[in-house]
Amino acid sequence: MSSKDKTFERIYNETKMSALKYISSKCLKITDIEDIYQETYLRVGEALDKGTEPKNSEAFVIGIARHCLSHYYSAAQRLRARISLSSGSVSDEPVDLEDDTDIESLAADKALYDEIFREITARPSDVQRMFYLHYFLDLTLSETAELMGITESRVRQRLYQTIRQLRRKYRGR
């Protein structure tokens, strides 16, 4: 293995989770996360091939990820997403979590799982990112809120509100 390959592998191992968290928190759709993640590390490899030796691996990779995100989305898309985040309506009613039914048990069957996934990806981008960060990356509600730059209570309300809606729609299936 060449020294460039070893450097890339070291940087990847040191930064993969922080890069995924950063990209996930900034993507407009969860279906874009994997593409932007791969593009980020492709550009990291290209930079290393050109002789760049980063002093701070995480800052280096996050900078490249930021660049990849800005090229992936147009300015209009980013503006629409910001407006969506700032104007989303969230109910102040208390959340009832007494129901034993959970999304994982509803998604046991592949067709139903795919339908639920389509339902989530049809939601506003902030809700999609919340689901991805909390349920896929297994971040706490407070970590999810911090990455998204919103309050923990807003994350909790949006997630649980969506889960209640999904439970109502898919109950008994």
The residues spanned by each domain of the chain are 3-73, 88-170
DSSP letter at 106? H
The tokens describing 61, both together, are 């990779």
pLDDT digits (tens, 9 = 90+) for 34-88: 999 999 999 999 999 998 889 999 999 999 999 999 888 875 565 566 555 554 4
The count of residues in the chain is 173
Instruction: Give the amino acid at 130.
Output: M
Taking alpha carbons only, the member of 30, 63, 34 closest to residue 133 is: 30
The terminus-to-terminus CA distance of the chain in angstroms comes to 52
CB atoms under 10 Å from CB of 70, counted, come to: 12
Tell me how far CA of residue 111 lies from CA of 11, 43, 108, in angstroms: 38, 36, 9
CB 161 within 8 A of CB 117: no
Residues 6+ apart with CB under 8 A from 114: none
**Which one of 1.10.287, 1.10.10, 3.30.160, 1.20.58 gives the CATH number of domain 88-170?**
1.10.10
pLDDT at 98 over 50: no
Give the pLDDT mean for 20-29: 90
pLDDT of residue 75: 56
Kindly calculate the radius of gyration of the chain based on its CA atoms and give it in whole angstroms: 18
pLDDT of residue 150: 95
The tokens describing 131, both together, are 């689901």
Taking alpha carbons only, the member of 32, 21, 27, 59 closest to residue 137 is: 21
pLDDT of residue 89: 45
What topology does CATH give the domain 3-73?
Rna Polymerase Sigma Factor; Chain: A (1.10.1740)
Query: How far apart are the C-alpha atoms of 89 and 92, rounded to whole Å?
Result: 10
